[in-house]
Every structure is written in C-alpha cells, then in structure tokens.
Structure 1
Amino acid sequence: MLPHTYLEQHREDIIHTYQKLHKIAEPSWQEKYTAQYLSQRLSEAGLQVRSFPGHHGFVAEIPGLSESVIALRADMDAIIQEVQGEMIANHSCGHDAHSTMVLYTALALAAYQPRFPYTLRFLFQPAEEVAGGALQMMKDGVLENVKMLFGIHLRPWMEVPYGKAAPVIIHRSSATIRGTITGRSSHAARPQEAIHPILAMTNLLHSIQKIKLEGGAFSATITQLESGNRKACNVIPESATFTLDLRADTDQMMKQLQQLIIQCIQATTLETGTFIKWRVTDYVPATIPNDYAIEIAKQSIIKVLGKRNLVPVCHSPGGEDFHFYTQQHPELIATMIGLGCDLQPGLHHPDMTFNQEALLQGAQILTALLLSSIDLMQPQPQKTIQ
C-alpha cells in the first residue's frame, strides 16, 4: 500500500491515537505507558524495536539494504503544571502530537512493500522538557550510522498559520540559573541587624537589567522567588531562592550572558554581604541550520501542502533539546519542521488546543520527507544559514 493512501485511510485513527496519548500525559523520565503503547503498535506492524535500560526512550527500525540510517525523532514527555488549581502532567507542548505523527509515518512506511535502500530509524525520546532526553539517547547510541535526522513541532498560530509549514525552526539557546541567597535573619523591627536576602535579590535584578550584548536578542527573566515564612510576617528571612530564565539567539551569546550574570552575582555578594550559591541547569543549544536538509524539507512541504503554504522559516523564542543532536554531531544533515495547526493560546499554556486535522498533514509531510531523503541522500558538505 502506498504510504499516502495508508495515511488517508487512517485519518480518524490518527486523531484517536493522539487523543489516547493526550490522556496518558506522563512527565519527563516517567513515560512508561506512553512508550509501551507506541512500541507495541510498532512491534505489531513488524518494526524492530529496541529499548534501553534506565529510561523509557526507544527506537524502532525498518531495516534497509544499507546500514546507513535516515532518522526521525519524536518527544514523548508532558509538562508538570497547574491546571485548574491542580498540579498535573499536561500535554501543553504537543509532544503527544509529535509522537502520533512519527508513529503513523513509521506505520505508513512499514506498510509499503519495497525494501528501502537505507535503514529508517524512529527515535522516541524521553525528557525533552528537562533538556536531558536527547543527551541520554545519544549516550545509548541512537545516532549510530545516522546520516540524516528530522523532527517536527507544532507551532502557535501567530508563527505558522494552519495549513502551512516551515522547513526549519530557528530556536534560541536557553538555560536556567537556580540560586539561593543566604543572609542573616532578624526581627522586622530591627532591620539594621539583618542581612536582607530579598533586598540582595533586588540589587541582583537591577544589575542584570543593565547587561548589554551585541549580535542578537537575549533575555534574563526572573520566574521564581521564594523567601520567608507566611506565618511569621514580622521576621526578615535568612534566605531566598530564585530562578532565572535565560534566552539568547546564539550559543556564543548564551555563554557571554551567563558570564555576565555570574559577575553580577559576585558583585552582589560583595555589596550586600550575602552568600549566593547558584547552578546552571536545563541548557539547550540554539538551532544550527543546515540548508541541504532545509531544502529537502521545503520540497516535501510543497509536495503535500503546495508552494503557497510554505513558510520559509519559523523563528521561535523557545528552546529545543533536538539541537543537542546537531551540536554534538555537526556532520548530521538535520532540520526540524514547524507545523501550522491553529495552536492557541500558545505552547505551555495549560489550556493549549490545536486543530487536530493538522496531524494528518504533519504525517504526510514527514512521510514525503523520508521518501525524498531516501532518493536524495548523498554525501553533502554542511552549510549553515545565518
């Protein structure tokens, strides 16, 4: 059966599968039932499935005539966030949609009769939201013999409209700084006896706001600040914990931003007499665009949606751990497709919704992309676009 025909015949099944995965919604490193469901579907279709110790990520393969591999990646984890007053795992970033589209791409190609000249590998990755899944999958050897790697991500309506798609998402580098400021507690009536951690945090934020960098856009935003005892409102607390969200257009800018913030932290400790303990977490690199991969993705989008529905590039203020693959393996021909789906109000919003009919379009684009890659895969020099 032709892959396009298979997908059309399974339109309703694609949506049903997405809805099933949406209800499971498991957080990072806990994607047990999501992985079980997906791997079982793939095994039943005849794909070779391989899991790994210590986590729920796995790969499924359609063996080809060559050991060279074309790979397609999906993320599986949900976000822990507050929904209607309750902290739960919630699929507000679309990873359930990504898993659905990659699953049906694999099923459609497995139902296709010819033996492919290259091996097709489907990566189902855990823990994207905590920026650890891609790194772990690489430790497990999932990129062995991989020459091309592709991914897909739902896009908000204002970035890519419904019925359109972009052959590349330009993500920014992102990181988190988590810290604790320790001062000295005192009665609120005698503030002169205290070393006030909240005032020290105010000083730190003022100095961070003065940072200037050239070469692109960046941000350093405080997202969490906790201090004190709610039952003792007349006590200056001893400590305060904080979280800073960092964004930068390039990896180099991210390094510079972190260095300048560390200088601000050191200056704050000297000015205020506090002790600040900090660490950088959740780092993900910026996109490394590959124009050969982008061209293949572009032609696949045009084939499915038509030229007028091609968005040349999608610029996103967010980050993605997909880019660890290309950062650590710059020889990879790789790109991530941005799929328009009328996603509203936005990614990570607890009430995020999108037009589920876009799932079929995404699977069709991915299927066309892999088939085109099989035809076009030749040793190519990597080029980057700015």
Structure 2
Amino acid sequence: MLSTIKTLAQTLAPRLIEIRRHLHAHPELSGQEYQTAAYVAGVLSSCGLRVEEAVGKTGVVGELQGRGEDNRILGIRTDMDALPIQELTSVEFASRKPGIMHACGHDVHTTLGLGTAMILSQMQESLQGNVRFIFQPAEEIAQGAGWMVRDGAMRDVSSIFGVHVFPSIPAQSVGIRYGALTAAADDLEIFIQGESGHGARPHEAKDAIWIAAQAICALQQAIARTQNPLRPIVLTIGQIAGGRAPNVIADRVRMAGTVRSLHPETHASLPAWIEGIVNDICKMYGASCEVNYRRGVPSVQNDFALTQLIEAAAREAWGSDRVQILTEPSLGAEDFSLYLESAPGTMFRLGVGYPERLNHPLHHPEFEVDESAIVTGVVTLAYAACKYWQSPHRES
C-alpha cells in the first residue's frame, strides 16, 4: 500500500507543483475564493469525486466513496485563502494580484488536499471507508470553519485530519504535536469612562487615560501573580484611543486587543477575570467601564490516538529522522479547532524550510516554500488515511 502511494505521488509530482504554482499566482482573499473554488471543484470532479460547491459560502466538499464495509467518514481539511500582503519574492509564478499573496502556505495546503484526493481516487477499490475532502475558505479571518460546519461539512464525519506548513521545519520532514497545538484567540474591547477637566487641575477630573494605563498594568501584573504559570495567557492591548486636546483631561478611552490561551479551563474563566480587574481599577479612581469580550476560536487540541496514527504513518513512510515531535505549542490561532467540536482530529506540521538558507516566517512578503515538501505531505495524508481504516472503530 505504502509503495503504491509513493509511486503515485512521485508520478503526480510535476502536476502537483503545477497546481501549487497556479494557485500561488492567483490568490484570493478570505471569503472571495471564487476562482480557487471552481478550480478545486474541477480537479475533484475529474477524479470522480462527488463534489458540492458553495459550502460555507466559497468552500468546496468532495466525497470519495470507498468500496469496503467500514461506514466511517474520514475528513481531510485544507484551507484556500490568501493574505492582503504585497508579494516581494522573485519567483516566476509570483502573485499576479497586487496586494494579495499566499504568504501562509494555503496554496500548498490546497494542493495537498487535491493530491491526496488524486491518489486515493486511484486506490478506490481498496479503500475501506469514505473520505470527505473539505476545502475551506476564510481561515485567515477565523470564519471559514464555522461557515463550513454550519453548512453541514462535518455531518457524519468520524475523525478529521489537518495540516499546516512550517518554515522552521526542514522540507520533507513532518512535525507532530500531542495535545495543544495552537491557542484560543479572543478579541477584547474596553471602554473607560472618566470625567473631563482642565489639564492644570487634574484633581477636579477623572483622567480616563491614566486610569486606562493603570488597568493595562494591572492586567499584565495579575497574569503573573494570579494565573497558573503552567497555563499561559498572553494579553495584548494593540489599540488605545482617547482625548481631544493636549490640555484637556480625557473623559473616555477605548482600548482593543487580543487574548491568547491554551487550556480550556483557563479560556472559560477569562471574560469574568478580566472584567473584574478592570472594574476594580475603575472603582478605585471613580470611573466606570464597559468590557466587551468576544470569543474567537478555541485551542486546537490534537486527539492522542489520531496523532499517534499520523506519527506512525510518517515514520513508516519517511523514517524516524524525518519526524519531529514538537515540544511547544503555538500561540497563533487556527479555526481547525471548530471541526474538533464535531469529531476528534489532529493537525500536523509539514516542513517547507530550505536547507542552509534564510527561511522567512509565515505572513512575510518574501515567504517561500521548498516544493519538495508537497510529495511528503501528500504521501503522509494518503497513507494515514489508509491506516485509519485499520484502526479500531471509534464513535465520534
């Protein structure tokens, strides 16, 4: 089975690189992936899959029916959207759309999903169960997964795999992470209401800017002294606005930021904890506040057994020297976590770094990938899917 998958992948390699370069040259922003979706649907249809378009607005779902008696559906999710970044690479297939770039590797992800579908469709007679390929829009704005789930993309799915490229891992290597892979990411907005006054007579006013500064410091200090240091929280106030003139004490301040956490229990407690601290600071100085805490996406918590399966597939396919066990999670966010509310799943990292040269990080205008990683990712996904049907039955 593995040798067949590797042979098919090597045969398809030129076509997969062609697909990736086409996608890279024609990026589309979140929620606007119309041409990408049509392209994906065309490739899936040519492989004989049952295709449904306009799922989750601009998403695509392809269903591959196995010939075995296992009724489980394995989901394989890849994302399709690009970023509002002006590409500064010198590759011949650079973005043809000014100000839009595949700087996060979603062109590679889409190619991996298509390549896996192309391989497994040629092995359909020996496929024991069904595979649902989920091509998702709008990951970069953390909206697309929710759209796809609401439109039924996860209906009857038993388990799901995901993948994300990683430039700090060498190409042709795979990164495996047990437990928390990414952080929960929430939005925070705080209004401080004080009382205006003359800058020369601060005692007659309630300085909203000064009180806001006390609130920011109190929140950061409280993280270090009231929260479990083994359950990290990162709170960043990225915007602050208030005041009308240099000699007028501001009566109102608006602050906005992001809150990242890894553990579900900590994540659940954050809104009340933050509001309590800000309220106490405001009461101390005679002001009032409004705290708006908006849930984003939860942390990706990789299922242990499915992560073991991906690790075993990668080790068998490539050898242990090309498999890295990642000891640290990322505090970045990934809406793959929303699929995990419907079924267990796991996401692995695919190394795309060039050896012995500078590798720019994700979201950088000069971000590039070593395309030799595409075969690695496709083989790993296809072989893990085949091994899935050999694993014990699990109810989602």
Tell me whether 1:168 sits opposite 2:174 in the alignment: no
Distance verdict in 2 for CA 1:175–1:70, change over 3 Å? same
Of the candidates 350, 359, 375, which is equivalent to residue 374 of structure 2?
359
Q: Distance in 2 between matches of 1:339 and 1:55?
A: 28
Matches within 5 A, 1:170-209: 170-184=181-195, 195-209=206-220
Maintained 8 Å contact 1:174/1:254: no
Of the candidates 277, 280, 287, which is equivalent to residue 267 of structure 1?
280
Q: Which residue of 2 aligns with 1:294?
A: 307
Q: What amino acid is aligned across from residue 251 of structure 1 in structure 2?
A: P
Q: Distance in 1 between matches of 2:149 and 2:49?
A: 21
Maintained 8 Å contact 1:186/1:193: yes
Q: Distance in 2 between matches of 1:314 and 1:21?
A: 32
Distance verdict in 2 for CA 1:183–1:10, change over 3 Å? farther
Q: Which moved more, 1:232-241 or 1:203-212?
A: 232-241
Distance verdict in 2 for CA 1:245–1:44, change over 3 Å? same
Matches within 5 A, 1:209-358: 209-211=220-222, 212-214=226-228, 215-227=230-242, 239-281=252-294, 283-313=296-326, 315=328, 316-326=330-340, 328-329=341-342, 332-342=343-353, 344-358=359-373
Q: Which residue of 1 aligns with 2:60?
A: 58
Distance verdict in 2 for CA 1:55–1:291, change over 3 Å? same
Following TM superposition, by how much is the alpha carbon of 1:252 offset from its aligned partner in structure 2, in angstroms?
Answer: 0.9
Maintained 8 Å contact 2:237/2:257: yes
Q: What amino acid is aligned across from residue 120 of structure 1 in structure 2?
A: V
Q: Distance in 1 between matches of 2:327 and 2:167?
A: 10
Maintained 8 Å contact 1:14/1:359: yes
- SS in structure 1 of the partner of residue 131 of structure 2: strand
Q: Percent identity?
A: 27
Maintained 8 Å contact 2:236/2:257: yes
Tell me whether 1:121 sits opposite 2:123 in the alignment: no
Q: What amino acid is aligned across from residue 176 of structure 2 in structure 1?
A: P
Q: Which moved more, 1:291-300 or 1:190-199?
A: 190-199
- What TM-score does the superposition give when structure 2 sets the normalisation length? 0.83
Q: Which residue of 2 aligns with 1:39?
A: 41
Deviations 1:115-141 (A, max 9, x none): 522111100112222322222222222
Following TM superposition, by how much is the alpha carbon of 1:261 offset from its aligned partner in structure 2, in angstroms?
Answer: 1.2
- SS in structure 1 of the partner of residue 349 of structure 2: strand
- SS in structure 2 of the partner of residue 153 of structure 1: strand
Distance verdict in 2 for CA 1:360–1:184, change over 3 Å? farther
Q: Which residue of 1 aligns with 2:91?
A: none
Tell me whether 1:140 sits opposite 2:151 in the alignment: yes
Q: What amino acid is aligned across from residue 144 of structure 2 in structure 1?
A: G
Maintained 8 Å contact 1:167/1:335: no
Deviations 1:167-194 (A, max 9, x none): 3362222222133444455665665665
Q: Distance in 1 between matches of 2:391 and 2:39?
A: 32
Q: Which residue of 1 aligns with 2:93?
A: none
Tell me whether 1:17 sits opposite 2:26 in the alignment: no
Following TM superposition, by how much is the alpha carbon of 1:54 offset from its aligned partner in structure 2, in angstroms?
Answer: 6.1
Distance verdict in 2 for CA 1:226–1:141, change over 3 Å? same
- SS in structure 2 of the partner of residue 78 of structure 1: coil
Tell me whether 1:94 sits opposite 2:108 in the alignment: no
Q: Distance in 2 between matches of 1:257 and 1:87?
A: 40
Structure 1 unaligned regions, length at least 5: none
Tell me whether 1:154 sits opposite 2:165 in the alignment: yes
How many pairs are equivalent?
A: 373
Structure 2 unaligned regions, length at least 5: 89-96
Distance verdict in 2 for CA 1:53–1:289, change over 3 Å? closer
Q: Distance in 2 between matches of 1:129 and 1:135?
A: 12
Following TM superposition, by how much is the alpha carbon of 1:348 offset from its aligned partner in structure 2, in angstroms?
Answer: 2.8
Deviations 1:257-299 (A, max 9, x none): 3332111222233244445333233522223332211121011
Q: Distance in 2 between matches of 1:291 and 1:4?
A: 26
Distance verdict in 2 for CA 1:119–1:234, change over 3 Å? same
- What TM-score does the superposition give when structure 1 sets the normalisation length? 0.85
Q: What amino acid is aligned across from residue 247 of structure 1 in structure 2?
A: R
Of the candidates 46, 67, 74, which is equivalent to residue 70 of structure 1?
74
Q: Distance in 1 between matches of 2:41 and 2:283?
A: 55
- SS in structure 2 of the partner of residue 255 of structure 1: helix
Distance verdict in 2 for CA 1:247–1:188, change over 3 Å? same
Maintained 8 Å contact 2:297/2:333: yes
Following TM superposition, by how much is the alpha carbon of 1:81 offset from its aligned partner in structure 2, in angstroms?
Answer: 5.3
Following TM superposition, by how much is the alpha carbon of 1:307 offset from its aligned partner in structure 2, in angstroms?
Answer: 1.3
Following TM superposition, by how much is the alpha carbon of 1:164 offset from its aligned partner in structure 2, in angstroms?
Answer: 1.9
Maintained 8 Å contact 1:228/1:236: yes
Following TM superposition, by how much is the alpha carbon of 1:11 offset from its aligned partner in structure 2, in angstroms?
Answer: 2.0
What RMSD, in angstroms, separates the aligned Cα atoms of the two structures?
3.0
- SS in structure 1 of the partner of residue 301 of structure 2: coil
Deviations 1:13-59 (A, max 9, x none): 32232232223332322222221221122122221111346611121
